[in-house]
A and B are shown apart, each in its own frame.
Chain A
Amino acid sequence: MTRLESIRRKRIHIWGAGNTYTYHKEDLQEYVPDIESIIVSNADGNPLSLDGIPVKQFSPAEERQENTFIIVCSIYYDEISSLLKESGYHIGRDFIHIRTFVTLAKLSTYSSGEHTFIDRKKNSDELLVILAGYKKFVWESVFPRLKRSVPEHMDVVLVTSGLVNEELQELCENYGWSYISTVRNNVSLAINIAITRFPQAKYIYKIDEDIFTTAGCFEAMRETYDRLTHDSKYEVGFVTPLIPVNGYGYVRLLELFDAVGLWEERFGELMYTDCYRHHRTIHDSPEAAMFMWGEENPQFADIDAMAEKLANRSFQYSICPIRYSIGFILFTRRNWMKMGMFPVKQHMNLGADEEHICKFCMMHARVMAVAENTIVGHLSYGPQHKKMEEYYRAHPEKFFPKVED
C-alpha cells in the first residue's frame, strides 16, 4: 500500500481555513475525497462550516484520536507542529504539511499504476516513447518509418495505455523495442511510467502513433535542442519538428514552401492558432488536412522530399509562443521532473499533458522551439480522422516509406 493510500484510509482533518487552504483546495478535492473537519486555532470569527465541512477549534486537552490524520494548511507550520507534538501527535505518522502531502500524492499517483513491462533496454541516454494502440490502420506505415529513422543507439519503448496488444508486442520483439502496457487508460500516466522505467534516459522523445517520421528528424531535433541551449538566449522547454497538420507548423510550412496564397484562396485567412479558439480550419476541416498532405498543393505532396529540402537549408528554428499540439516532442528528464511530470487526475485527461507542458514552458520561461530543418507528417486532428482514414487508404504512396535503393 502506498503512503498516500495509507493516509487516505485514516480520518482526515485539515488544519487551517485561510489562504493556504484556499490555494490547495483543488489538490485536496483531488486527493482527499472525505475530510472530517477543518481545524482552526480559534473558532471566533470563522464560519461553522466551510465548503460543507464542519469548522472546529483545536482543543489541546482532547486526547489524540487513533486513526486520525491532520494535513496542515498554514504558514504557521512550526507553531502548529509543536502544538500537535505536545498533544501526542507524531509528524509523518499523524500529521504532515500540505505541500509535502501534495508532493507525495503526485509522486504516488503520477508514475505508479499497474502495468507490464517487456524490457529490452540498451541503457541509452536517449529514449523514444511511442504512444500507440488506437489507430491500427496506420501501423503498417508508421512503424517501418520509425524503424528506419530512429538512431540505432536509442532506447525505444512502445506504450499502450489501457490495453494490451499482441500485434504490437510482436512488432516490438522484431524491432528490439521495449513494450509497456498500462491497465488504466491515461496518457499522462503511461508516459510517466515509461520515463520512470528508463532512469538513464536524459533526453526523451514522445511521439503519437499517427506521426510519420522522416530521415534525420531525431538528429535534427537533438541538434536544435543542443544549439539553442548553448548558443541562444533561450532556455529550452521542448523541441518539435515542423508538422503540416498542426496549428503552428502549418503557417511556417506554408510560408517556407511559398504556398500561403494557395491556402488563403481555399480556406481564408492564414493564422497561427491554438486550434480551438479561432481559425480552426486546420483542426476541423478534413479538406485542410488533405491540402497539407499535398492535395491541390503540389509542394506538399511528398513529405520525404520536403524533409530533404529542409535538411539542406542552413540551420533554422522558430519559437512557438502559443499552445502547441505535442504530437512529437523532445524534452529532458530534468524538465519532466521540474514540471512535476505529466499530471494524472481522477478523470480522463485527454489534452492535460499538452496543457501542462505548454503552461510549464510559458510560466518557467522555457521555450517551445520548432526545429525547422526537419518535418514529420501528422495524419489528422480528431474531427478530420474519419475522412483522413479514407484518404490514407486511397493514397498509400504518401504514407509508406519509400523503397530504399
Chain B
Amino acid sequence: MIKQKQIVIWGVGAIQTDIEALFDLRVAYYIDEALNQKKERIAPLRHPLKTPDELKTQNKDLYFFIICEQEYGEIQQKLNNMGFAEHRHYVSYERLLFEYDFHELLDRIENQSQALWGLGKTFKDYNRYIAENFRRISFYIDEQMAPGMKSLDGKDVLTFEAARDRLRDVFLIVTSAYYPQIDIKLRSLGKKPGVDYISFYTLHVLTHHQTRLSKKFSFIDRRKNSDHLLLVLAGYKERLWEDIFRRIKAYTPSHYDVCIMSSGLYDIRLSEICQQNGWSYLSTGSNKISAIINTAIHIHAAAKFIFKMDEDIFITRGIFEKLLNTYKVFEKKERYQIGFVSPLIPVNTYGYVRVLEKLHLEAEWEARFGKLKYTDGLTHHYEIAQNYHAAMFMWGDGNRILKDIDSLSHELGGQPLQYSICPNRYSIGMILFTRETWMDMGLFPITAGNNLGADEVHICFYCMMSGKAMVVAENAVAGHLGYGTQTEKMMDYYENNIKGAHINVGTT
C-alpha cells in the first residue's frame, strides 16, 4: 500500500538509513527539524529536505510518512494537527519493522561471527545487552580508539582499513553514531545493509520482537486467515474441557480463526479436539505463557481483533458479538482510547462488584464475606480471589440467580448497551484487543519462570501509562471457575454443581 505513495521519512540518521534499505523504499522527501545538530554524523541527503509546512496538502493520501525518530509522540501530534492519521498516513519505524522478515536476518546473524563498529557511548550504554545477545564477536572497529587500544576482552580493536579483509567473514553491527557515513564506506566495498551489516538500533528493535516469540513450537495449521482470532490458553485443567470447548464450539462465529495454545506441553486430546472442530493447535516445549500468546498472534498475521481466553472461562451465547459491539460503540462515543474490552465475569476482582450491584446482592455478599470493595485480590479485600466459598457464592451457592450464567447473560444481553471502565489491575481471563494494541505495547513480556501474571501486569500497566481504558462490556457475561487458591475446591464444586448444567439454555 505504501509503495504507491510518496514516501516521506521524518528524521534522518541511522534508523532512516536502515529503513530505506530494508524495505527498498523510493523516498520522495525527508523532514528533519534537528538536522543542524546531526550534520557531522550524517551522509549527504539523497532526496530533498522539506519542512512540515511544505507538505501540508488537501490530498492527505498523497504521502506516507515514516517516523524514524525516537520522539514519536511529538511528531505524531504535529501530523495529527496537519490532518494526517496514524497507520493510514504515517507509521513509526518500530511498527514498520514488524513487517520485516526478522527471523531470517536474526538467524543469519546468530549463525555467523559478528564484528562491532563503535566503542563509544552506545556501546557503553548497551554493554550488558551486547554481551548477552551477541556471543560470537570476533573483533571491534573504532577509528579513534584503535591506535591506542589494541584489544578489548581479548579481541582485536581495528581501524576500518585494518579490518577490511576480515569483513567478509562477519556480520557487522554498527553501534557508532556515524552510521550513515559508515554505510557509504561499506557500500563502496559492495556490502549491503540488512545483508552484511545493520545499525545496532534497528537490530535492537528486531531482537526485541524475536525474543518475545517462542523459539521452538509445533503448529497444526487450520487457519482461515480471518481478521478475528480466538486464542484459548489450555493444557492444565482437563476436567473442564468438555464444557469449555463445547461452549466455544457453540458460540464462536464460524468465520473466526480459533487457535488452542498449550504452553510447555503437547496434549494429544487437545490436538484431537482441534482436529474435530477445525481449529489450529499451537504447543511449545518451554512454558512461557507470554511467548506462546505472542507466537500465536504473530502466526495469525491476518488477525486484527484478538480474543484471548483461559481454559477456565465459560463463555456464553453472543459474547463475541457483544464484546465487538462494545468496542466499536465505545471507540466512537467515549473520550478514551481503548486498551482492551472484557466481559462481566462474576469471579473477578472488578466484575464481582458490578455483578452484585446489578443483581442487588451486595447485602448478601457483605453478610457472608464482609465489605464489598473493588480489589486486586492480593493486597486488600481478598475474599473474591482467595476464599473458595466466595467463588461458590458467585456461582450461585446460596443464591439462585447466579447459578445460571446463561440466563444471566441472556438477561443482561437484553438490556441497553452498558459498559464501565476498570481503574484497577484487571484479571485478564478473557479480553479483546487489537493487533495494533499488541504491537504498540511491545507484545507481552517474557520474564523468568512461566510468566504467569506477567502478561496481565504488562497490559494493565501499558493501558494506564498510555492513557487507554480497560473497558468492561456489561451486556456480556463469562463464567470464571476460580482463582488459583480456589481451584482445587472449585473443581469439586464444578463436578457436582456446574458441569453440563447450562449449555442448553438459549442455544436452540
- Chain A interface (Cβ within 8 Å of chain B)? 18-19, 22-23, 51-52, 233-235, 247, 251, 268, 270-281, 284, 319-323, 338, 355, 358-359, 361-368
Contact = CB atoms under 8 A, between A and B. Distances in A.
B110 to A, nearest CB: 17
Contacts of A367: 374, 423-424
A268 B84 CA distance: 12
Interface string B370-383: 00111111111100
A235 B425 contact: no
B434 interface: no
Contacts of A284: 74, 77
27 contacts: A19-B449, A51-B131, A235-B375, A247-B467, A251-B335, A271-B337, A272-B336, A277-B73, A277-B466, A277-B467, A278-B466, A279-B77, A280-B77, A319-B421, A319-B423, A321-B423, A321-B464, A322-B465, A322-B466, A322-B467, A355-B465, A362-B425, A363-B460, A365-B375, A365-B376, A365-B379, A366-B424
A366 B423 CA distance: 9
Given A277-B466, A280-B74, A358-B465, A268 B336 contact: no
Contacts of A362: 423-425, 460-461, 464
B468 interface: yes
A347 to B, nearest CB: 12
A291 to B, nearest CB: 15
A271 B77 contact: no
A321 B448 contact: no
A18 B448 CA distance: 8
Contact of A280 (B73, B464, B469): B73
Contacts of A319: 421, 423
A23 B453 CA distance: 14
B128 interface: yes
B468 A322 contact: yes
A363 B376 contact: yes
B353 A364 contact: no
A278 B447 CA distance: 28
Nearest to A276: B73
A324 to B, nearest CB: 9
Given A233-B373, A278-B467, A52 B336 contact: no
B380 A274 contact: no
The majority secondary structure among interface residues of chain A is: loop
B81 interface: yes
Interface in B397-440: 421-425
Which of B80, B132, B381 is most buried by chain A, counting CB atoms within 10 A of its CB? Answer: B80
B17 interface: no
B128 to A, nearest CB: 6
Given A273-B467, A365-B375, A52 B128 contact: yes
B467 A51 contact: no
Contacts of B470: 321
A271 B336 contact: yes
A358 B73 contact: no
B131 A52 contact: yes
Contacts of A363: 376, 425, 457, 460-461
Nearest to A18: B448
Which of B349, B424, B449, B470 is most buried by chain A, counting CB atoms within 10 A of its CB? Answer: B424
B336 A365 contact: no
Contacts of A322: 336, 463-469
Given A19-B448, A322-B468, A359-B464, A365 B425 contact: yes
A18 B128 CA distance: 18
Which of B377, B463, B468, B470 is most buried by chain A, counting CB atoms within 10 A of its CB? Answer: B468
Given A280-B74, A364-B379, A365-B375, A233 B353 contact: yes
A365 B379 CA distance: 8
A235 B423 CA distance: 11
B486 interface: no
Interface residues of B, number: 44
A251 B337 CA distance: 13
A272 B422 CA distance: 15
A320 B357 CA distance: 21
B76 interface: yes
Given A323-B465, A367-B424, A233 B372 contact: yes
Contacts of A274: 464-467
Given A279-B467, A280-B74, A319-B421, 9 more contacts: A234-B374, A247-B467, A272-B467, A276-B73, A321-B470, A322-B465, A361-B423, A365-B381, A367-B423
A142 B114 CA distance: 59
B461 A51 contact: no
Nearest to A274: B467
A108 B156 CA distance: 44
A141 B203 CA distance: 52
Those 8 A-B pairs whose CB atoms lie nearest each other, nearest first: A274-B467, A321-B423, A365-B376, A365-B424, A22-B448, A19-B448, A277-B466, A280-B77
A55 to B, nearest CB: 14
A354 B78 CA distance: 26
A233 B375 CA distance: 9
Interface in B70-90: 73-74, 76-77, 80-81
B340 to A, nearest CB: 12
A304 to B, nearest CB: 27
Nearest to A247: B467
Which of B128, B374, B378 is most buried by chain A, counting CB atoms within 10 A of its CB? Answer: B374
B337 A278 contact: yes
A268 B469 CA distance: 20
Interface string B118-131: 00000000001001
A358 B469 CA distance: 14
Contacts of A361: 423-424
Contacts of A275: 467
A152 B423 CA distance: 34
A191 B447 CA distance: 32
Nearest to A280: B77
A272 B81 CA distance: 17
Contacts of A51: 128, 131-132
Contact of A235 (B131, B373, B464): B373
A268 B35 CA distance: 30
A372 to B, nearest CB: 15
Contacts of A270: 335
B491 to A, nearest CB: 27
B189 to A, nearest CB: 33
Given A23-B448, A277-B467, A362-B460, A321 B421 contact: yes
A102 B74 CA distance: 37
